[in-house]
Amino acid sequence: MSAPLIDPFARAITYLRVSVTDRCDFRCVYCMSENMTFLPKKELLTLEELDRMCSSFVRLGVRKLRITGGEPLVRRGIMTFFDAMTRHLESGALEELTLTTNGSQLEKYAADLAAAGVRRVNVSLDTLDDDKFARVTRWGRLPQVMRGIDAAQAAGLRVKINAVALKGFNESELPALTEWCAARDMDLTWIEVMPMGDLGNEDRLGQYWSLREVRDRYAQHYTVSDLAERSGGPARYVRLEETGQKIGFITPLSHNFCESCNRVRLTCTGELYMCLGQEDMADLRAPLRASPDSDAPLEDAIRAAIGRKPKGHDFDYSRQRADGQMPRHMSHTGG
Ligand code: SAM
Ligand code: SF4
């Protein structure tokens, strides 16, 4: 067994988010422009390379894999990859295999995902209104996603809803979304919109709605208790006493979770980002492709990269685009 991955600030790296494609069947306004240029196929890690990458991280102590994108379920043959990861769940090396999805393909894949050992999925959904859904996702259609959520629950997957908080867009839907989730026994997490990619150039629907305000809005409708629980990630949780529901808040812009950060992100081209808010990355595809018969050079490159994981990140709205804005799209880094 290899020594676990510990960064310079004594944080154990146990969580890897993997983007398996930069493509998507939606064009959410805060995430992509309408005319996206996607990467040539040869740039992407093959399904086999994704297996080698993830297996190396698992050997080095990663206990949780979250698959994302782009839309992970539009990657051709993606179930082959999920099925390949099942062996790590069965051996006990991997604790959790999960994904973040827009839900469009869940009707097709929910049962297969459950069979592969996936227990939970995060589904991104900002509104329960058909027209608003079509506007915010541009290409998405709500009934298809609803059928996907039904299929996921029918397959026994636990569903969590992630909603991007957009002032003037889904602000008025807070009680309805919350009650809908409660009725279906789904947790709900609000995400603060991040200054990624083209955001700001886009003809935006709604705008920055701080999670402080979202929390205040909850306090107008419910009795809200803070929960101490943390996931090693940027989420904070409250409980609504009336419904017993747990509501999460992801504030990627605040710095206060960096000290407990246990995660790194791998892009679909094999770049490892040690921190979502910083540009430094390590190319893991080169050592992987240079050494088809041994993962040792890859593992060395992973260790060297973790050795450069910074203490914290550097988003700041007050600095605006000049230096606070990240030029990367979430669909590339894997949100
Ligand atoms: N396509 C999948 C989905 O939508 O769930 C997975 C990838 S998507 C990039 C992951 C998450 O990032 C989604 O919940 C999405 O709402 C969120 N996201 C995308 N752009 C964002 C932005 N600018 N600010 C905050 N969250 C964003
Ligand atoms: Fe696609 Fe997800 Fe980005 Fe929406 S947020 S465009 S569904 S990758």
Write the CATH number for 76: 3.20.20.70
Please list, in sequence order, all residues whose beta carbon lies within 8 angstroms of the beta carbon of residue 323, skipping any fewer than 6 positions away: none
- Does residue 69 line the site of ligand 2, with CB under 6 A? yes
Specify the higher pLDDT residue, 329 or 208. 208
- Going by pLDDT thresholds of 50, 70 and 90, the confidence category of residue 251 is confident
Q: Residue 320's domain spans which residues?
A: 15-333
Residue 204 pLDDT? 57
Residue 195 pLDDT? 65
The Cα–Cα gap between 267 and 228 comes to: 31
Question: Torsion-angle region of residue 198: left (phi > 0), alpha (psi -120 to 50) or beta?
Answer: alpha
Distance from Cα 107 to the centre of ligand 1, integer Å: 20
Residue to mutate (ligand 2; options 21, 26, 329; most atoms within 8 A of CB)? 26
Domain assignment present for 4? no
Give the number of the ligand closest to the Cα of residue 20.
Answer: 1
Domain assignment present for 9? no
Domain assignment present for 321? yes
Domain assignment present for 136? yes
Domain assignment present for 251? yes
- Does residue 71 line the site of ligand 2, with CB under 6 A? yes
In ligand 2, the atom with minimum distance to the C-alpha of 140 is 7
Distance from Cα 193 to the centre of ligand 1, integer Å: 9
Give the number of the ligand closest to the Cα of residue 24.
Answer: 2
Cβ-based neighbour number of residue 167 at 10 Å: 14
The token duo for 174 is 């807070």
In the numeric block, the tokens 């999960």 are attached to: 98
Contact (Cβ atoms closer than 8 angstroms) between residue 149 and residue 123:
yes
The Cα–Cα gap between 62 and 95 comes to: 9
Give the number of the ligand closest to the Cα of residue 99.
Answer: 1
Number of structural domains found in the chain: 1
Q: Whose C-alpha lies nearest to ligand 1, atom 4?
A: 102
Domain assignment present for 6? no
Specify the higher pLDDT residue, 233 or 34. 34
Nearest alpha carbon to residue 325 among 206, 211, 203, 201: 201
The Cα–Cα gap between 307 and 7 comes to: 5
- Going by pLDDT thresholds of 50, 70 and 90, the confidence category of residue 232 is low
Backbone dihedral angles phi then psi of residue 135, each to the nearest 5 degrees = -70, -45
In ligand 1, the atom with minimum distance to the C-alpha of 122 is 5
Distance from Cα 3 to the centre of ligand 1, integer Å: 33
Report the predicted TM-score, pTM, of the whole model to 2 decimal places.
Answer: 0.92
Domain assignment present for 45? yes
